[in-house]
Amino acid sequence: MSFRIARLLLLAAALALAGCEKSVTTEHQEVSGELVVRIGASAPLTGPQAHIGKDNESGTRMAIDDANAKGIIIGGRKVRFELVSEDDQADPKTATIVAQKLVDNKVSGVIGHLNSGTTIPASRIYNDNGVAQISPSATAVAYTAQGYRTAFRVMANDAQQGRVLGEYAAKNLGAKKIAVIDDQTGYGQGLADEFIKSAQSNGARIVAHEYTNDRAYDFTAVLTAVKGKQPDLLFYAGMDPQAGPMAKQLKALGLKLKFMMGDGGYTPQFIKLAGDAAEGAYASLPGVPLDKMPGGKEFEARFVAKYQPIQLYAPYCYDAVNVMIAAMQKADSVEPAKYLPALAGITHDGVTARIQFDEKGDLKGGAITMYQVKDGKWQPLETLGAIAPAAH
Amino acid sequence: MEIFFQQIINGLVQGSVYALVALGYTMVYGILGLINFAHGEVVMVGAMLALSSLTALLGLGVPPLLAFPLSMAIAMAGCMALGYSIERVAYRPLRHAPRLAPLITAIGISIVLQNLAMMIWGREYHSFPQLIANETHSIGGAIISDIQIAIFVAALFIMAGLLVVVHRTRLGRAMRAVSENQHAAQLMGVDINRVISVTFMLGSGLAAVAGLMVSANYGLAHYYMGFLLGLKAFTAAVLGGIGNLRGAMLGGLLLGLIESLGAGYIGDLTGGFMGSNYQDVFAFFVLIAVLVFRPSGLLGERIAERA
Amino acid sequence: MPNAPKHLKYWLLLAALLLLPFVTDGLLGRGWVRIVDFAMLYIMLALGLNIVVGFAGLLDLGYIAFFAVGAYCYALAGSPHLAIAFPMLFPEGVHLSLWLILPFAALLAGGLGVLLGAPTLRLRGDYLAIVTLGFGEIIRIFLNNLNAPVNLTNGPQGISRIDPVSIADMQLSTTQQIFGIELPAVHMYFYLFLAFTALAIFASQRLEKSRTGRAWMAIREDEIAASAMGINTRNLKLLAFAMGAMFGGASGALFAGFQGFVSPESFSLMESIMVLCMVVLGGMGNIAGVILGGVLLAILPEVLRHGAVPLQQALFGKTIVDPESLRMLLFGAALIAMMLYRPAGLLPSRVRRRELDTDEVAEKA
């Protein structure tokens, strides 16, 4: 028996070695005088969130293609950027494997991950290896609270967004009795907690806090429970695949109230899934509306032509890459150790906002725009707490 | 009171969906003693096929009232073929293998179907077209829609139909014989391969109906929708006594009710300490409690000790 | 000296294992060392589940819950997190060493194993499967929600900044110099996990050959006959749950230290199913088979991650199918193919093989 184990372990070891091709380890290889710089990207490309993950990948890819078309010179050499995209399956464990793989591939920086649950464990590996990480969409406060100088994000965190949303619900929309449903994910729970705090401090009463999960599609039970409390506003902290059917079921159950979401609901898919019931729903999105930003409209047109309608975070990925490249240009180096200080102090006018980081790596100021569905389309209402974009 | 009625209706509708899927689980289990873990994915494929054919038919200008039954027929045919192939590829070669071997192939099939569906239908959520005006009715203040009534009635009819098939037809007698003792059935001239194939096809056809119902009621279809639904239906089948058709129906409806009443009233029952976040905990506690007192489910027979 | 060649083999094996992280690192990159580390954790889990499923024949679909309990034990006792819930009691959080927590985590998981076992003693086969599945989900849901009223687990946000494992004064998270050899963090964790895996293998082997192990197998084969022979089936079933759970709890604590972050997403039902697949695929009840199953299933998805694009390039000259969907597709297909090829597992246990030869196990009585 033991003897067989011995053989087996040898076999296993051999398998581990032989089963795959050698990963590339040469640093910044040169192709015809060009400096090749790898940018890593990671998001779930399989599983229930795959559609949003793919959107992230496309946003990142477009920024990299743009940069290559521009012919950027860093350190006196023409630079060609190369995307290394990996699927983290929205799983924390896979995320660390992916992070290590990206580090092995000598990426100069990483755009990712999509979820807070994957961004946080991966950030430890990027930090240990001194690789810059910009998350386009992780909103958990804990991500930048770890004290890593490699961790940045180009998205308002839960505290920033929840505060604005709670205030908007209680003050601008005049809600007195509010019901909250969260999807029990890191994102939903974090946002719901901040929203509740803010709404309460602005004089609203939370009459119900119900829960669902990120795979559910039947919400009739929790919505009926909410109906019994007769709120005048329902806030859902979660993503569009749930928000869409929820809006539909709200209407079917005859609840007459204002329906509000965070950035997870601001997608064309929400409108598609909710149908008529989408009309009048509110959602927030960090940043300034694309068509109000210099280059925003043009970005959207090009993105749609090249890939598909923007799902959610593609513009943030686009900005994340550009801000990273801008920092490289400023520091005149593609080495993270050299360009990280430049990144921390950068001012970059992106398509979502003017990007500046505070000492933790969070977005400074954090403009947040409220949108409402009117005539089957998301229309911007107003932008709150913004730094005015430069070109306006 | 109006809220309580509404929760009962919510539970019955959700429960009917569980019951429809659970019937498929239970049929296969009854005849082979095997958990068909891929059943949830067959439901998903049914929904996707129905959606694709419906879109195509409507695009060809077929009137909605004709397109709907046609797409249902296409989905059922597709799922039956799928069910037949799954049994041939993944289960039949393992009929005499250790009991857990088919469980692994079932999981494999489930992963393959999910990813194939992702390749074919894409990663995004599809919205299901609303064909006819979905009128809502008010019963004592509680609201129910046409589709919901249809789901409930369909589940009852299908169960009744299956009972007739199993207890009144030649095929049903053969099914019961195979489920009692494969060898003896074979000696009596029953073509067990054919009976098992037909059982799988029946179960898969039901899965297609369930998939279509879910999609039409909730207005969406996605390649990942089968997994959780399959799991819930499996729980329902066990709760009612797996292998028993009436048990699947009862278990499905009960699970739906437990979930909706749980989500609605846990908060009040525990004084706000727990809420709808503990809905599944509540459901599983009920399940465990039932099984502690009735180890073979509510309607399951006390099966002989198996090796 | 009849034993000489055998001993030689052991020394060679040991040398190969000690060199493994360096060879892997050199040939494939450090990411692969991390993958091998995870494979070790999975082997420990699979060995634990093998006690329950393989030895005692109790189908458990909620095994990952014990892993979760172990992971959260160390996460709470080795991070600043408890400072949030009890600022008066632990202003800095609790920072106990893993070596103190490990036995506690194993014992706590073992206790939960008994708790799970108690109501399920009368259940068999699939009824047992669904109850254990429910148990796994219950634990996960509690971990996901115990951030209120007192923030114990930090809910779905998970607990970050968990202290890395340290041996004496040496922190395993940083690169260390030992005898002039540079040892990066993933290498050190490899050796740590290797030691624990060896311990788990040793314990499994002793258990298998012990009186208890034989009693478990008797229960697996025929519970009524076993109890007629005077075996206390109740206590032994509970013991199987407890022992299996202890393996899970211990590896969970190691996982938390390695990862530095735990959240309920890591302990989903799919993980339980994966560990069960490892046990069944490798060969239930056979320790060597279980190890092979663990290694294969932990590494295969990653091999496919690297292989999906080159494979298509070689076959069609271009990337036709999105590599990510192809990867999981191939993984599912591999599960089916391996099971069809070796229905009793890749390396079936001898006892099980005997069973297969004599009659159809699958058949109902």
ipTM: 0.90
* B185-197: burial string, b at 16+ Cβ within 10 Å, e else: beeeebebeebbb
Q: Give the whole-angstrom CA distance, residue A312 versus residue A286.
A: 11
Give Dmax (Cα) for chain B.
62
> Cβ–Cβ of B220/A241 closer than 8 Å?
yes
Whether residue C57 is predicted with pLDDT greater than 80 in this model: the reply is yes
Q: Which chains touch C (3 or more CB pairs under 8 A)?
A: A, B
Q: Give the whole-angstrom CA distance, residue B91 versus residue B101.
A: 9
Whether residue A106 is predicted with pLDDT greater than 80 in this model: the reply is yes
Whether residue C353 is predicted with pLDDT greater than 70 in this model: the reply is no
DSSP letter assigned to residue A23: P
Q: Would you call A382 helix, strand, or coil by DSSP? A: strand
Lowest mean pLDDT of A350-359, B54-63, B90-99, B123-132, name the range.
B123-132
Lowest mean pLDDT of B33-42, C125-134, C174-183, C267-276, name the range.
C174-183
Residues C293 and C339 sit within 8 Å (Cβ to Cβ): no
Whether residue C14 is predicted with pLDDT greater than 60 in this model: the reply is yes
Lowest mean pLDDT of A290-299, B233-242, C315-324, name the range.
C315-324
Neighbours of C22 (CB within 10 A): 15
> Cβ–Cβ of C329/B273 closer than 8 Å?
no
C7 burial type by CB count under 10 A (0-12 exposed, 13-18 middle, 19+ buried): exposed
Closest CA to A252 of A277, A270, A232: A277
Residue B212 confidence class, pLDDT cut points 50, 70, 90:
very high
Distance from CA of A88 to the nearest CA of C (A): 10
pLDDT for res B301: 67
- The predicted model gives C93-109 an average pLDDT of 92
Compare CB distances from C17 to A1, A9, A87 and report the shortest one's residue: A9
Q: Which residues of A touch C263 (CB under 8 A)?
A: 92, 117, 186
Compare CB distances from B276 to A54, A222, A241 and report the shortest one's residue: A222
DSSP-derived secondary structure for B259-275:
HHHHHHHHHHHTTTSS-
- The predicted model gives A155-163 an average pLDDT of 90
pLDDT for res B15: 95
Higher pLDDT pick, A24 / B255: B255
- The predicted model gives B232-244 an average pLDDT of 89
pTM score: 0.88
- The predicted model gives B117-144 an average pLDDT of 84
**Which of C115, C340, C356 is best to mutate for the B interface (most B CBs within 10 A)?**
C340
Distance from CA of B61 to the nearest CA of C (A): 33
Which segments within B149-246 are labelled E, that is strand? Answer: 220-221
Residues C64 and C228 sit within 8 Å (Cβ to Cβ): no
- The predicted model gives A228-248 an average pLDDT of 94
- The predicted model gives C189-203 an average pLDDT of 95
Beta bridge partners of B173: none
The proportion of chain C whose per-residue pLDDT surpasses 70, expressed as a percent, equals: 91
Residues C99 and C87 sit within 8 Å (Cβ to Cβ): no
Whether residue C354 is predicted with pLDDT greater than 80 in this model: the reply is no
> Cβ–Cβ of A6/C186 closer than 8 Å?
no
Whether residue A389 is predicted with pLDDT greater than 50 in this model: the reply is no
Q: How many CB pairs under 8 A join B and C?
A: 165
Q: Find the closest chain B residue to C218 by CA distance.
A: B307
Q: Which chains touch B (3 or more CB pairs under 8 A)?
A: A, C
| C265 contact B CB<8A | no
- The predicted model gives B38-44 an average pLDDT of 95
Structure tokens that stand for B138 in this block: 């008010």
Distance from CA of A221 to the nearest CA of B (A): 5
Residues C134 and C123 sit within 8 Å (Cβ to Cβ): no
Whether residue A118 is predicted with pLDDT greater than 50 in this model: the reply is yes
**What is the C-alpha end-to-end distance of chain B, expressed in Å?**
50
Whether residue A227 is predicted with pLDDT greater than 60 in this model: the reply is yes
Higher pLDDT pick, A260 / B181: A260
pLDDT for res B130: 78
Using only C-alpha atoms, chain A has a radius of gyration, in whole angstroms, of 22
Compare CB distances from B280 to C141, C363, C365 and report the shortest one's residue: C141
The three-point CA angle C195-C199-C201 to 5° equals 115
Residues A248 and A273 sit within 8 Å (Cβ to Cβ): yes
DSSP letter assigned to residue A171: I
pLDDT for res C346: 87
Q: Which residues of B touch C218 (CB under 8 A)?
A: none
Lowest mean pLDDT of A3-7, B250-254, C320-324, name the range.
A3-7
Q: What is the pLDDT of residues C225-242, one digit of tens each?
A: 999 999 999 999 999 999
Residue owning tokens 């995004």: B124
Q: What is the pLDDT of residues C114-135, one digit of tens each?
A: 999 888 888 877 788 888 999 9
Q: Helix C98-117 to helix C64-77 angle, to the nearest 10 degrees?
A: 140
Q: What is the pLDDT of residues A167-176, one digit of tens each?
A: 999 999 999 9
Q: Which residues of B touch C363 (CB under 8 A)?
A: 96, 182-183
> Cβ–Cβ of A227/B6 closer than 8 Å?
yes
The proportion of chain A whose per-residue pLDDT surpasses 90, expressed as a percent, equals: 63
Residues B133 and B144 sit within 8 Å (Cβ to Cβ): no
> Cβ–Cβ of C334/B108 closer than 8 Å?
yes
> Cβ–Cβ of A51/B263 closer than 8 Å?
no
- The predicted model gives A292-303 an average pLDDT of 89
pLDDT for res C182: 81
pLDDT for res A4: 53
Q: Which helix (H) or strand (E) holds A73?
A: strand A73-74
> Cβ–Cβ of B108/C269 closer than 8 Å?
no
pLDDT for res B35: 81
Task: Give A201's contacts (C-beta < 8 A, 6+ positions apart).
Answer: A166
- The predicted model gives A303-315 an average pLDDT of 92
Distance from CA of C164 to the nearest CA of B (A): 32
